[in-house]
Structure formats: structure tokens, C-alpha cells
């Protein structure tokens, strides 16, 4: 993007003064791309959810009812929940970065 500024040459007076043009190159502010933010947040959230499920930190030590779910199903469910929450948090972060770029 080019910005043109006009500056007057010569002293003050009633005569017409010629003007010179100065052209400066100005880079536009960089904006974040939202899709990479959201996809990265979803992938990180899925990984965190799957690790929590497979780690067994929230498993019931003495279940009263037997479960028919495999551990991989729990990892999938918690991974999906983590992906949704991670994508949402990443979208909020992208909006905040975008608004901060408006102020600069």
C-alpha cells in the first residue's frame, strides 16, 4: 500500500508554491487467520482429552456396574469433548489477537 503525502516547498507568501510528492511504502497490519487457530486448538484439545481418558485419572476405582465401553471409546469421547473446547478457546484467542491488531 502506498501513502502519498504532500509537502510545500518554499516560504510563506502570496505566490503559488510548487508541491512535491513523497511516496512511502506502508505494510498493512497482519491479521490472524482463524481456521489455523481453531484447527490447532481442536487438535491440542483432542490430544489432551485422549491422554486424560487413557491415563485413567478419572476412572472409578470400584465400579458398581460393569461397563461395556472399551478404553478407546472413552478416549474418543473425551478427545471429542476436548477438541470442541479447544477449538472454542482457540477461536476466542484468535478474536482477541484480531482486536489487538486493530489497536496497533
Top-confidence residue, 20 or 10 = 20
Collapsing DSSP to helix, strand or coil, 62 comes out as: coil
CA dihedral 81, 84, 85, 87 (to 10 degrees): 150
Q: How many domains does the chain have?
A: 1
Q: Which region among 79-83, 89-93, 96-100 has the lowest average model confidence (pLDDT)?
A: 96-100
In a domain, 89, yes or no: yes
- Within-domain flag for 76: yes
Q: Is residue 17 part of a domain?
A: no
The answer to whether residue 77 is domain-embedded is yes
- The domain in which residue 82 lies consists of 31-103
16-60 residue pLDDT tens: 566 777 777 877 767 778 999 999 999 999 999 999 888 877 777
Amino acid at each position: 500500500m502506498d501513502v502519498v503525502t504532500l509537502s510545500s516547498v518554499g516560504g510563506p507568501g502570496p505566490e503559488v508554491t510548487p508541491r512535491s510528492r513523497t511516496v512511502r511504502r506502508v505494510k498493512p497490519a497482519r491479521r490472524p487467520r482463524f481456521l489455523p487457530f481453531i484447527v490447532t486448538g481442536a487438535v491440542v484439545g483432542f490430544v489432551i482429552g485422549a491422554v486424560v481418558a487413557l491415563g485413567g485419572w478419572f476412572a472409578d476405582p470400584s465400579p458398581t456396574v460393569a461397563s461395556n465401553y472399551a478404553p478407546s471409546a472413552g478416549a474418543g469421547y473425551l478427545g471429542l469433548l476436548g477438541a470442541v473446547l479447544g477449538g472454542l478457546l482457540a477461536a476466542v484467542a484468535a478474536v482477541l489477537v484480531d482486536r489487538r491488531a486493530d489497536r496497533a
